[in-house]
Structure 1
Amino acid sequence: MNKTLVYTQASNRPVSVPPTPSQRAEHATASAFLNALLREWSGWSFLSHAQKELLCFGEDTVCLPLQNNDRLLLQVPHHTAARYEIQLPFYLWNSEGRCKPVSLMSALTTLITDSTISGEHSEKQFTLLSRVLDSHQAQMRAYELDANNTSHPAENWSFQEAEQALISGHPTHPNPRSRDELTKDDALLLSPELKGQFPLFWVLADRSILVSGSGVQRTAFDMCLELAKSDETLPETLRTKVDKGYVPIAWHPWQAERLLARPQVIQWIQQGFLKPYGPVGKAFTATASMRGVHAFEAPYMLKFSLSMRLTNSKRVLARKEVERGVQMAELLSGALGDKLANDFPHLTILTEPGYVALQDEDGGALEDSFVVLRDNPFHEPTQTGPAMLASLCEPHLGAPSPLSDLIYRQAAQKTLSPQGLAEHWLDAFMEVAILPLLDIRARHGLLFGSHQQNMMIALKDGMPAHLYVRDCQGTGHLTTHHDVLSAYLPDIGKNAENVVPPEIGDELLCYYVIVNNLLHTVSTLVIDGLMDEARAYDTLRRKFKAAAQSTTSDPAFYDYLLTSPTLVSKGNYRTSLSNVNEASGDGAGQLAAFFKIANPFNNKRNSDDIA
Structure 2
Amino acid sequence: MPPAAGGDAAERDGLDGLADAYAAAPLLNCLLRELARPAPGEPGLHRLPAAGRLLRVRGARRPAAAEVHESGRWRRLDHAGLVALVAEELRGHTGLPNHELPAEMLDSRDAVAAILAARARATPPDDPYLRSEQSLITGHPHHPAPKTRGGGPAADWLPYAPEAHARFPLTLLGVRADTVVDDGDTSALDALGEAPPGYRLLPAHPWQLDLAAPDLAAAFADGRLIRLGATAAPAWPTAAVRTVYVPGAELFLKFSLDVRITNDVRRLWRHDLLKLRRTDAAVTAAFAALPGPAAWLSDRGYRTASFAFEQLAVVVRDGVRDHVLPGATPYLAAGLVEGFAGSPPDATADPAGWWRAYLRQVVPPVLTAFAEHGVVLEAHLQNSLIACAADGTPVQALFRDVEGVKLLPETSRRAGWERLVYCLVVNHLVELAEALAERHPGFDPWPAARAELAAARRPDLPEAAALLTAPTLPAKTNLLLRWTGADGADSRYRPLPNPLLDGDARYFKGS
Percent of aligned pairs with the same residue?
25
Query: Within the alignment, does 1:423 sit opposite 2:399 as a pair?
Result: no
The structure 2 residue matched to 1:436, chosen from 365, 374, 377, is 365
Name the SS for the 2:138 alignment partner.
Answer: coil
Q: Deviation at 1:104? A: 3.3
Q: Would the alpha carbon gap of residues 538 and 452 (structure 1) be closer, same or farther in structure 2, given more than 3 Å must change? A: same
Query: Within the alignment, does 1:92 sit opposite 2:35 as a pair?
Result: no
Report the Cα distance in structure 2 between the residues aligned to 1:475 and 1:371, rounded to whole angstroms: 18
Q: Which amino acid aligns with 1:582?
A: G
Q: Which amino acid aligns with 2:357?
A: A
Query: Within the alignment, does 1:464 sit opposite 2:405 as a pair?
Result: no
- Please say if residues 175 and 202 of structure 2, whose CA atoms lie closer than 8 Å, have aligned partners that are also in contact: yes
Name the SS for the 2:348 alignment partner.
Answer: helix
The structure 1 residue matched to 2:46, chosen from 52, 63, 66, is 63
Q: Would the alpha carbon gap of residues 392 and 212 (structure 1) be closer, same or farther in structure 2, given more than 3 Å must change? A: same
In the alignment, what sits opposite 2:255?
Answer: 304
- Please say if residues 377 and 406 of structure 2, whose CA atoms lie closer than 8 Å, have aligned partners that are also in contact: yes
Which blocks of at least 5 consecutive residues in structure 1 are unaligned? 1-18, 53-59, 229-236, 395-400, 412-420, 480-498, 584-590, 607-611
Report the Cα distance in structure 2 between the residues aligned to 1:582 and 1:66, rounded to whole angstroms: 27
Q: Deviation at 1:475? A: 1.3
The structure 1 residue matched to 2:192, chosen from 227, 238, 250, is 227
Q: Deviation at 1:605? A: 6.9
The structure 1 residue matched to 2:289, chosen from 319, 329, 339, is 339
TM-score (ref. length: structure 1) = 0.74
Query: Within the alignment, does 1:516 sit opposite 2:510 as a pair?
Result: no
- Please say if residues 357 and 394 of structure 2, whose CA atoms lie closer than 8 Å, have aligned partners that are also in contact: yes
Q: Deviation at 1:330? A: 3.4
- Please say if residues 128 and 342 of structure 2, whose CA atoms lie closer than 8 Å, have aligned partners that are also in contact: no
TM-score (ref. length: structure 2) = 0.87
Report the Cα distance in structure 2 between the residues aligned to 1:176 and 1:532, rounded to whole angstroms: 29
Kindly provide the CA deviation profile for residues 76-100 of structure 1, in whole angstroms up to 9, marking residues without a partner as x: 3xx4xxxx34241x22322x42234
In the alignment, what sits opposite 1:558?
Answer: 464
Q: Would the alpha carbon gap of residues 373 and 105 (structure 1) be closer, same or farther in structure 2, given more than 3 Å must change? A: same
- Please say if residues 345 and 436 of structure 2, whose CA atoms lie closer than 8 Å, have aligned partners that are also in contact: no
The structure 2 residue matched to 1:367, chosen from 310, 330, 333, is 310
Which blocks of at least 5 consecutive residues in structure 2 are unaligned? 1-12, 506-511
Q: Deviation at 1:521? A: 1.0
In the alignment, what sits opposite 1:387?
Answer: 331
Query: Within the alignment, does 1:348 sit opposite 2:342 as a pair?
Result: no
Kindly provide the CA deviation profile for residues 147-176 of structure 1, in whole angstroms up to 9, marking residues without a partner as x: 477869xxx853222211111211111111
> RMSD over aligned Cα, in angstroms?
2.9
- Please say if residues 284 and 296 of structure 2, whose CA atoms lie closer than 8 Å, have aligned partners that are also in contact: no
Kindly provide the CA deviation profile for residues 379-415 of structure 1, in whole angstroms up to 9, marking residues without a partner as x: 8xxx984111111101xxxxxx44997445432xxxx
Query: Within the alignment, does 1:139 sit opposite 2:112 as a pair?
Result: yes
Q: Which amino acid aligns with 2:156?
A: D
- Please say if residues 422 and 531 of structure 1, whose CA atoms lie closer than 8 Å, have aligned partners that are also in contact: no
Q: Which amino acid aligns with 2:46?
A: C
Which gives a bigger RCO, structure 1 or 2 (Cα 8 Å, sep 6+)? 1
Kindly provide the CA deviation profile for residues 191-231 of structure 1, in whole angstroms up to 9, marking residues without a partner as x: 111122222121111221122211xxxx43x3321333xxx
In the alignment, what sits opposite 1:476?
Answer: 406
In the alignment, what sits opposite 2:152?
Answer: 182
In the alignment, what sits opposite 2:199?
Answer: 246
Report the Cα distance in structure 2 between the residues aligned to 1:297 and 1:195, rounded to whole angstroms: 18
Q: Would the alpha carbon gap of residues 405 and 267 (structure 1) be closer, same or farther in structure 2, given more than 3 Å must change? A: closer
Name the SS for the 1:170 alignment partner.
Answer: coil
In the alignment, what sits opposite 1:410?
Answer: 348
Name the SS for the 1:302 alignment partner.
Answer: strand
- Please say if residues 131 and 340 of structure 2, whose CA atoms lie closer than 8 Å, have aligned partners that are also in contact: no
- Please say if residues 277 and 299 of structure 2, whose CA atoms lie closer than 8 Å, have aligned partners that are also in contact: yes
What is the correspondence of 1:91-240 to structure 2 with a 5 Å cutoff? 91-94=67-70, 96-114=71-89, 118-122=93-97, 124=98, 126-147=99-120, 157-214=127-184, 219-220=185-186, 222-228=187-193, 237-238=194-195
Residues matched between the structures, number: 489
In the alignment, what sits opposite 1:546?
Answer: 455
Q: Which amino acid aligns with 2:312?
A: S
- Please say if residues 70 and 93 of structure 1, whose CA atoms lie closer than 8 Å, have aligned partners that are also in contact: yes
Kindly provide the CA deviation profile for residues 25-81 of structure 1, in whole angstroms up to 9, marking residues without a partner as x: 22221211111121122x422341xxx4xxxxxxx12223365654332233xx4xx
Q: Which amino acid aligns with 1:297?
A: G
Q: Deviation at 1:576? A: 1.9
